[in-house]
Amino acid sequence: MNVQQKATLQKLGPFIALLVLAAGLAITSPDFLTVGNLLNVFRQVSINALIAFGMTLVILLGGIDLSVGSILALSSVVTALMLSHGVDPVVATSVGILAGAGMGMVNGLIISKGKVAPFIATLGTMTILRGLSLVFSEGRPITGLNSDFFAMLGGGYVAGFIPVPVILMLVMFAVFWFVLKRTVFGRHVYAVGGNEEAAALSGIKTDRIKIWVYTLSGAMAATAGMILTSRLNSAQPTAGTGYELDAIAAVVLGGTSLTGGRGWIFGTLVGALLIGILNNGLNLLGVSSFYQQVIKGVVILLAVLLDRANKK
Amino acid sequence: MKRVLSPLLIGLLATGLIACSKQGPDTQVAVEPTAVAGQLSVGLAISTQNNPFFVALRDGADAEAKAQGVKLITVDAQDDSAKQISNIEDLIQKKVQVILINPADSDAVAGVVKEAVKAGIKVVSLDRSVNGAEVSAHIASDNVAGGKMAAEFLMEKIGGKGNIVELEGIPGSSAARERGQGFHAIVDGKADLKLVAKQAADFDRAKGLSVMENILQGNKDVKGVFAHNDEMALGAFKAIEAAGLKNVVVVGFDATPDAVKAVKAGQLAATVQQKPELIGKMGVDTAIKLGKGEAVDKFIPVPLDLVKQ
């Protein structure tokens, strides 16, 4: 087996784990392997996957974005407030996503221009933005979003049976795959994450790359927020709490290195599916939610430990 | 080969872990495709297990399910509406016959409740209602009866005559409306009883204190106070204590740990206690009736208790 074949196999690792897990569940739970349930899982996964796509770029840079859950909540609150005041749903949704992008851009500016470690910078904005979403919503869920367009974002179907969020997830997957694989921007992200100094010396505007990556991460979190708000038919100021950890877990499970420079978006999709299928399967098997958390944690740790062992 | 082995191991370990947990108490569930004839499978979608009230509700449902031979699958939303929706979607895929839902947010679950009903599943709401979707039944504390209970106790304590005060919860909230309605059903129209003040203190202890202070400025001879919750009752007691008044009968609602302590110390006369385990038990009983195709009431009130010295 030559080096390249080994590398390909290693990349496919998470995918194989996914297949094994799915096969295990198909045997133990008769409700698992049905078209209805698989579409159900994909729809549940879409929110985490969208956030995780943005997070993949952030982690490829060697950074981290803890503020995604708060961005999701604040942009949802902004959009819901507009909707409940009768603003056109297309406008309200666009403004919500742009607001999320703006919040991400602020992260990028603090990190690149302010030279603050990403962990600290986004920890700060996470707290600020969560506070703001409580301020704007007065701590209560915002309801009364009477809009068919908006309801369709989270609850609609394409061709009668494929949920809209699943389509959105697949489209964004294709976009991110193309950007990372085929564009100059994508190559620069890998370069900056691999060795920032070398990247800067070879003429890459590293600050600009960072700002764009965090902006994208914010926009993706906001997009996920639109779907969530549509599904709940209300914006919750506490929505998205802990979602940053699920997104990071999906990225890491997918084989992207937390030290930056190495990883791919397909892995992230698989990682998100692994977490989603684990949640769904454990529910179908009637496992207590307390044990569910233990099992999820163990699986994440095992994945990372085995990955480490392989790289030695 | 090592590289292929490791993911395989992860997968196997994950499946192994699932298999381990199957030896737990609620796991005979796993192998059955759908409910065996005569055996009902019920999903309990609970808002959180980080709050003793809901843990007691779950325990009540668990115990009754065991006693009646019902398969009960509990899913916990951890106070996250999005997680609750996913949980209920999974219960729909699991093809349970009845879902008992204790909404994390009454509005947010409407969509998924409609989906469940469309899939032929009966839905019963527990403690909190569902806004925007029809359910088969709603099971919650009988706040009207609680208000009556508090009023009767208050009357008895003050000998049926004198000046009384009512501290209202957030105006328009269902708890404030229903508790007040029960209270007025008893005290209204009594010749010797005079409601000298009825004011909102929004379920808040600090507001309970300041509102009661203001009331006492104008009415020194207050004999009894009914507060729509314990927080306001405890605030009112502080005002009464500060005003140097003795033997004022204060009755609260909810039986929070603070209030129960205050009752034991003789500061509050009584507090009305909800029975979460009974809500859970009645949820399972109602699910059994629905499973048999029997008719059930749209609203099933759960009786309350009075905690007194």
Interface test with B, best of A83, A137, A234, A300 (most B CBs within 10 A): A234
CB contact under 8 A, B6 and A295: no
User: Which residue in A47, A283, A298 is closest to B90 by CB distance?
Assistant: A283
What pLDDT does residue B218 have?
Answer: 86
Q: How confident is the model at residue A145 (pLDDT cuts 50, 70, 90)?
A: confident
Instruction: Provide mean pLDDT across the span B43-58.
Output: 91
| pLDDT confidence bin for B26, thresholds 50/70/90 | very low
- Give residue A15's pLDDT: 86
In contact, A169 and A46? CB cutoff 8 Å: yes
Average pLDDT in chain B: 88
Residue A147 within a domain: yes
Asked whether the beta carbons of residue B111 and residue A282 sit closer than 8 angstroms, the reply is: no
| pLDDT at res. B5 | 53
CB distance A236–B105 less than 8 Å? yes
Collect all residues of chain A within an 8 Å Cβ-Cβ radius of residue B8: 16-17, 20
Report the percentage of chain A scoring pLDDT > 70: 96
Q: Tell me the pLDDT band of B25, cut-offs 50, 70 and 90.
A: very low
Please report whether residue A22 resides in a domain.
no
Neighbours of B117 (CB within 10 A): 16
What's the CA gap between A47 and A244, in Å, rounded? 11
Per the structure, how many domains does chain A have?
Answer: 1
Total Cβ atoms within 10 A of residue A185: 15
pLDDT of residue B44: 96
pLDDT in tens, B279-292: 999 999 999 999 99
Q: Which domain holds residue A261?
A: 35-306
- For residue B15, what pLDDT is reported? 57
Domain B41-140+276-302 matches domain B143-273 at the CATH topology level: yes
For B181, B254, B263, B307, the CA distances from B257, given in Å and listed in that order, are 25, 9, 10, 11
β-sheet bridge partners, residue B152: none
Rounded distance between C-alpha atoms, residue A57 and residue A36, angstroms: 32
CA dihedral A52, A57, A62, A64 (to 10 degrees): -40
Mean pLDDT on A235-263: 90
Rounded CA gap, A226 and A248, in Å?
A: 20
Query: B227: pLDDT confidence band, cut at 50, 70 and 90?
Result: very high
Minimal Cβ distance to B30: which of A18, A40, A286:
A286
- Residue of chain A whose alpha carbon sits nearest to that of B85: A232
Topology of the domain comprising B41-140+276-302: Rossmann fold (3.40.50)
Q: With 90 as the cut, is the pLDDT of residue A138 above it?
A: no
SS3 for chain A is: CCHHHHHHHHHHHHHHHHHHHHHHHHHHCCCCCCHHHHHHHHHHHHHHHHHHHHHHHHHHCCCCCCCHHHHHHHHHHHHHHHHHCCCCHHHHHHHHHHHHHHHHHHHHHHHHCCCCCHHHHHHHHHHHHHHHHHHHHCCCCECCCCCHHHHHHHHCEECCCEEHHHHHHHHHHHHHHHHHHHCHHHHHHHHHHHCHHHHHHCCCCHHHHHHHHHHHHHHHHHHHHHHHHHHHCCECCCCCCCHHHHHHHHHHHCCCCCCCCCCCHHHHHHHHHHHHHHHHHHHHCCCCHHHHHHHHHHHHHHHHHHHHHHHC
CB atoms within 10 A of CB B267: 16
Q: Which residues pair with A192 in a beta bridge?
A: none
With CA atoms as reference, the chain A residue closest to B22 would be A287
**Is the Cβ pair B93, A6 closer than 8 Å?**
no
- pLDDT exceeds cutoff 80 at B89: yes
- pLDDT given for residue A286 in this prediction: 83
Tell me how close the Cα of A257 comes to any Cα of chain B, in angstroms: 16
Contact B170, B230 (CB under 8 A): no
Q: What is the pLDDT of residue B37?
A: 41
CATH 3.40.50.2300 for domain B143-273: yes
A301 domain-assigned: yes
Q: Which range is least confidently modeled, A8-17, A56-65, A287-296, B115-124?
A: A8-17
CATH (domain of A230): 1.10.3470
Q: Give the distance from residue B165's alpha carbon to the nearest chain A alpha carbon, in angstroms.
A: 30
Determine the residue of chain A that is closest to B41 in CA distance. Answer: A286
Strand partners, B253: B272
Section A273-292 average pLDDT: 88
Going by DSSP bridges, is the β-strand pair B249-253/B222-227 parallel, antiparallel, or unpaired?
parallel
Nearest CA in chain B to A299: B14
Q: Is the pLDDT of residue A103 over 80?
A: yes
- Tell me: pLDDT of B7 over 60: no
Q: List, for residues A22-33, the tens digit of each pLDDT value.
A: 999 999 988 899
Q: Closest Cα of chain A to B16: distance in Å?
A: 9
Verify whether the Cβ–Cβ distance B74 to A143 is below 8 Å.
Answer: no
**Shortest distance, CA B122 to any CA of chain A (angstroms):** 18
For residue A286, which residues of chain B lie inside 8 Å, CB to CB? 26-27, 29-30, 73-74
Whether residues B14 and A24 touch (CB distance < 8 A) is answered with yes
Domain-embedded: residue A142 = yes
Among partner residues A236, A286, A295, which is closest to B73 by beta-carbon distance? A286
Is A146 domain-assigned? yes
Which whole number is the average pLDDT over B7-32? Answer: 48
Burial class (CB in 10 A: 0-12, 13-18, 19+), A85: exposed
B11 has pLDDT over 70: no
pLDDT confidence tier of residue B23, bands split at 50, 70 and 90:
very low
Q: Name the residue of chain A whose CA is nearest to B95's CA.
A: A31
pLDDT at A68: 98
Coil vs helix vs strand at B6: helix
- Say which residue, B264 or B38, is predicted with more confidence: B264
ipTM greater than 0.85? no
Given A25, A285, A306, which is nearest B6 (Cβ)? A306
Per-residue pLDDT band at A140 (split at 50, 70, 90)? confident
The pLDDT of residue B137 is above 60: yes
- Asked if residue A25 belongs to a domain, the reply is no
B8, B85, B91 member nearest A232 (Cβ): B85
Task: For chain A, state the CA radius of gyration.
Answer: 19
Tell whether the model's pLDDT for residue A147 goes beyond 50. yes
CA-nearest residue to B71 within chain A is A286
Q: How far is A185 from chain B (nearest CA, A)?
A: 31
B21 has pLDDT over 70: no
The reported pLDDT for the residue numbered B33 is 39
Q: Say whether pTM exceeds 0.80.
A: no
* Res B17: pLDDT: 54
* Per-residue confidence (pLDDT) for residue B28, from 0 to 100: 39
Q: What pLDDT score was predicted for residue B22?
A: 42
pLDDT at A284: 87
Residue A102 maps to a domain: yes
> Is residue A90 in a domain?
yes
> Which of A147, A232, A282 is the best mutation test for B, with the most CBs of B within 10 A?
A232
CB contact under 8 A, B11 and A236: no
B2, B18, B105 ranked by CB distance to A141: nearest: B105
What does the pLDDT look like over B160-206, one tens digit per residue? Answer: 999 999 999 988 788 899 999 999 999 999 989 999 999 999 899 99
Per residue in A219-244, pLDDT tens? Answer: 999 999 999 999 988 898 889 988 99
Examine the pLDDT at B58 and tell me if it is beyond 50: yes
Cβ–Cβ below 8 Å for A306 and B105: no
To probe the interface with A, which of B18, B28, B46 has the most A CB atoms within 10 Å?
Answer: B18
Domain boundaries, chain B: 41-140+276-302, 143-273
Q: Measure CB to CB from residue A295 to each of B17, B82, B110 and give the nearest one.
A: B17
